[in-house]
Structure 1
């Protein structure tokens, strides 16, 4: 039995939903496809598919085997591409997931430069603030801003700490006064990020250790650019990443406050399956992102 061929045929049947559709997709007869799957079932000693006249349904054993088979075929594909790429100019597709604001403000322009430098590599960038599993969702790489993951199933490549700052507009400070301690945030108008699990509970590390305060939330949003604009419009105090607030802090439209108190540290890091390390194009992209964003963050530099 051609185990690899039978494995590929079985996966195609599940993907297409029928023997006939799988046969058309791979250019074989329906009977050839059926024989390949039967041979695989006999070799494994389990039934992988329930067959009807119109469609096939995957058994529980078949579903578990399909997931493993899909991963094996993907790893094999990556290994083959890695060998080819080591002999020639890197090419192929890279599917990337990244946070919305960082993607539009910083990563997007960087990937435009990457695509210009490596025209044989096709880049697909999907922006979303939802945490995704790069393997389950079919991405080659995920860019995250958070505390690093501890999963052993994925490569975790840290790039740079991502600073955040508590800030407000000069007019807001003139009208309400500058907070002296985190406790003042319980009474002053605050703008908070609506997607944070802690909601309007802000945690900071100060001279005397960790501090937690339930802020006076007057406006929330799951997009930090909206919160930045609300802060510029004198609506309240906001805890913002400097990759968003940096230009406004530099030109004076926003002023940092409570500088002795810092929120928990976040990092910009890359997350990708171990098999992707074999790919020359992934290695190129990792190096490119590190060269662009590693070291001192350009958005934190004083102009």
Structure 2
């Protein structure tokens, strides 16, 4: 009988949402996990979950037991961490999901540097712009850009980015360089990142806002592809500076309407479920990210550059 193991298994069943998913994440047979839960309930003399073929729900006793399990697991983890030698090598897997463009261009070098210091860490990385369910998919943490809507996540800001409006010199020679936002209505076209607003919002000199809609010539879910299209004179592009900064610095793309186009700076956050104790290796990784991006990021594009 291993009460500690039973508690961890129960937590996984609750957070995964089903015994099937929990068994998959724990890499054990569903029947074995189901039996473990039944034995646990028999030992406690209570029902922890109301289960049907399609759903499960915590009983009142189950909710209390779940919260107590979380507290005990975290207390043990904190105790073990405090007893560990700080020089002890970090090891084991870290499962992380990150935005595609940011991950490939800027996070990869950071992860490689972290891995050189901690070679016994095995990264399981999902490069994906979709927001996955960290608990159900078994992720330790994620990186998210912009407004955080999931209140069940704990977030730590590691850096920031901003949107800029860019175009190639050849495109601007053909269509004209806009001096004020309404100039965009004179034959300009844009490249559009899927699932974002099609409206460009500008701030006038009197701080009033003006919204402009111009025809879209291309839609894609890849910011990198759209950046390449902008370089090849296909249209205007509103893009995070971390995607296009190299082309701006080489002169292949040029920021326009910088006095008017001033979207809010977007935070880039490391997030993890508040119901899950953050392992020492994951915490070390987040702290590393904060230090790594502490100086002005290399993608910071200033007006006029």
TM-score by length of structure 1 reads: 0.78
* Distance 1:75-1:129 versus aligned 2 partners, 3 A rule: farther
Q: Partner of 2:127 in structure 1?
A: 127
Tell me the SS of whatever aligns to 1:253. coil
Q: Partner of 1:116 in structure 2?
A: 116
Distance across 2 between alignment mates of 1:287 and 1:248: 30
Q: Please, what is the CA RMSD of the aligned residues?
A: 3.6
Tell me the SS of whatever aligns to 1:246. helix
Matches within 5 A, 1:1-303: 14-15=19-20, 16=23, 21=29, 34-40=38-44, 42-44=45-47, 48-49=50-51, 57=53, 60-61=56-57, 77=73, 79-86=75-82, 87-88=84-85, 89=88, 90-147=90-147, 149=148, 151-186=150-185, 187-196=187-196, 198=197, 200-209=198-207, 210-261=209-260, 262-274=262-274, 278-300=278-300
Does the Cα contact within 8 Å between 2:98 and 2:125 map onto a contact in 1?
yes
Distance across 2 between alignment mates of 1:220 and 1:202: 15
Distance across 2 between alignment mates of 1:239 and 1:63: 49
Q: Which has the larger radius of gyration?
A: 1
> How many residues get paired?
286
* Runs of 5+ unmatched residues, structure 1: 51-56
Comparing 276-285 with 212-221, which one deviates more in the overlay?
Answer: 276-285
* Distance 1:208-1:64 versus aligned 2 partners, 3 A rule: farther
Tell me the SS of whatever aligns to 2:264. coil
Does the Cα contact within 8 Å between 2:19 and 2:33 map onto a contact in 1?
no
Distance across 1 between alignment mates of 2:287 and 2:9: 37
* Runs of 5+ unmatched residues, structure 2: none
1:64: Cα distance to partner? 9.1
TM-score by length of structure 2 reads: 0.78
Distance across 1 between alignment mates of 2:241 and 2:103: 14
* Distance 1:231-1:72 versus aligned 2 partners, 3 A rule: farther
Distance across 2 between alignment mates of 1:251 and 1:156: 34
